Amino acid sequence: MLAAGGVAALAAVPLAQLVLAAAGAGPARAAALLLRPRTVDLLTGSLVLVLATCAGALLLGTATAWAVVRLPLPAPRLWPVLVCLPLAVPSYVAAFAWRATWPQVHGFWPLVLVMVLTTTPYVTVPVVAALAQADHSLAEVARTLGRGRWRAARAVVLPQVLPAAGAGTLLVALYALSDFGAPAVLRHETLTTGVHRLLTGGLDRTAPAVLALALTALALLCVAGERWARRLGSGRRSPAARAAPPVPVHRTTALLVAFALAAVAAASVLGPLAALGRRMLTSERYSASAADLVGAGTTTLALAAVAATAVVVAAVPVGHLAARRPGRLTAALETAATTGHALPGVVVALALAGLWLAVAPAAYQTAVALLSAYAVLFLPKALGTTRTAVEQVPVAAQDAARALGCGPVSAWLRAVLPRALPGLAAGWVLVAAAVSKELPATLVLRPAGMDTLATELWSRTSLGAYGAAAPVGVVLVLVGLVPALLLARSLRQQLPGHLRRAPAPAPVAAGVTGVAR
């Protein structure tokens, strides 16, 4: 309990520091900063981006999920992988890829397109899982009472899927609200770019703190809404529930839908990779330096390994407490430990920069300051996998170790750790991949002369050296493939049995009559 409380307190420090920094402005100045035209423009830029991205991701993600689960598509094992692959492409890498191909393309709508393509899986994945687990037996009852297929689905299945769609859309909103790299590359001003400009362009920490607090308040609303929507959809499935059979459609229709899904995946992943590859092959003025790429890659791997190890170790006491002793106090500690989930990277950088300058100025812009930002931002990723891993270990195993004379720590290490290790390793991979792609906090807190892959791409892009930045973008996408493929594997295991194997060939008559069985 004490260790979990310490971890939760440390995770909440940046938010407390941000509140104190913003309070130092006083109510009058804070109100003036928030109401000035520049702030209103930044807020408007963020909100319209969030709304447009959420609308596009909701429509595209829900349609994709329904097609994957309900239609008899060819190669059914392929689609869970394709719907997860866009998660491998950071939004700022996709923005850079398109900008490197068409330098004249920038502004709001190109940014919306990039954001929708990179965030749609946040909607698709939970909706696929919800559709696969939904109870369709009541829809069949409704059809026997005279309702058509679509009316029955709207009345029975849609309420079971809406919470998942809502939770995923709010995650998209949080991502769009927090993103810094893509808006900066495509020149659309938002609160994140405004906070970064104020933070790096002057000595006054009050104005960026006030803007960052407003940004954090919006992010906290997204997180609260996502948790509420997730709780609505967390009801247990009835033992009598039945998965729905595929919707009978003509084979040509299924092929057209499959082509459309493949085109979206190609635009999300293959398009940026092709753009980066083309820039690598055709650029002569700006050639990539192998030494710089190797140096940035080595630094990224070292930071990712150290940060992931520290984050997983920090997540263990909180995850164990949440799995073994649920309650109000535990829930409060877990909420405090996941504060970083609601804090954009630029906000964490701002808060920790002020904290380190006030407490230990020598530690500012050192590896310690940078690792502290990674710990706050990515502790929630490790916490979820840790809690799940510990829950799957029987309590009797640890009790037996205690009965044999082991102390609490020794019993945990001998009885729980070996069985929970796969889940902890999954959390380690997720955190390491996220650290490798993190940009805004790394830009602010990294030591002078230290470049990661993300900052190397940023600095090359800022100089217009697109040819040198392209190989870095390719490496970042390859790094992102690891968690994307892990998620695809998990998603495929949740699908009904007929979607895990290739369907039997449909009879010729089915193609003639327009029904693919």
Q: Which of the four CATH numbers 1.10.150.130, 2.40.30.10, 3.30.950.10, 1.10.3720.10 does domain 1-19+287-463 have?
A: 1.10.3720.10
How far from chain centre, in Å, is Cα 11?
19
CA dist 461 and 279 (Å) reads: 12
Yes or no: say if 279 and 93 are a contact pair by the CB < 8 Å rule. Answer: no
What is the H or E stretch that residue 330 is in?
helix 328-337
How far from chain centre, in Å, is Cα 363?
29
Closest CA to 42 of 223, 204, 180: 180
Would you state the pLDDT for residue 268? Answer: 93
Closest CA to 468 of 288, 223, 306: 288
How do the domains of the chain map onto residue ranges? 1-19+287-463, 36-236+254-286+484-501
Would you state the pLDDT for residue 49? Answer: 96
Yes or no: say if 67 and 262 are a contact pair by the CB < 8 Å rule. Answer: no
Would you state the pLDDT for residue 426? Answer: 84
CA atoms within 13 A on the CB side of 165: 20
CA dist 47 and 428 (Å) reads: 33
Quick one: CA dihedral 344, 350, 353, 358, positive or negative? negative
- What residue has token string 């230990």? 360
Closest CA to 470 of 252, 198, 288: 288
Concatenated DSSP letters of 12-54 = HHHHHHHHHHHHTTHHHHHHHHHHSHHHHHHHHHHHHHHHHHH
Per-residue pLDDT of the chain (517 residues; tens, 9 = 90+): 677 888 888 888 888 888 888 887 788 888 888 889 999 999 999 999 999 999 999 999 999 998 988 888 888 888 989 999 999 999 999 999 988 888 888 899 999 999 999 999 999 998 888 887 776 665 555 556 555 556 656 656 677 788 888 988 998 999 999 999 999 999 999 999 998 888 877 667 788 888 888 888 898 888 888 878 877 766 544 444 555 666 777 888 889 999 999 999 999 999 999 998 888 877 655 555 677 788 888 999 999 999 999 999 999 888 888 888 888 888 888 888 888 878 888 899 888 988 898 888 898 889 999 999 999 999 988 888 888 888 878 888 777 877 777 877 787 778 888 888 888 888 898 899 999 999 999 998 999 888 899 998 898 888 777 878 888 899 999 888 888 888 888 887 777 655 555 444 333 333 333 333 3
- Cα dist. 10→7, 14, 427, 481 in Å? 5, 8, 20, 31
What is the CB neighbour count within 10 angstroms for residue 302? 12
Q: Class assignment of domain 36-236+254-286+484-501?
A: mainly alpha
- Cα dist. 171→77, 227, 230, 234, 423 in Å? 26, 10, 11, 17, 23
Closest CA to 191 of 16, 15, 40: 40
CA dist 224 and 171 (Å) reads: 10
User: Is it true that 1-19+287-463 and 36-236+254-286+484-501 share their CATH fold?
Assistant: yes
Cα angle 54, 119, 423; round to 5: 125
CA dist 406 and 415 (Å) reads: 10
pTM, two decimals, is: 0.84
Where does 145-205 have alpha helices with state H?
Answer: 149-152, 158-178, 181-185, 191-201
Q: Which residues contact 327 (CB under 8 A, 6 or more apart)?
A: none
Closest CA to 194 of 30, 51, 350, 351: 350
What is the chain's Cα-based Rg?
24
Would you state the pLDDT for residue 501? Answer: 52
- Cα dist. 383→216, 369, 423 in Å? 21, 21, 10
Would you state the pLDDT for residue 15? Answer: 86
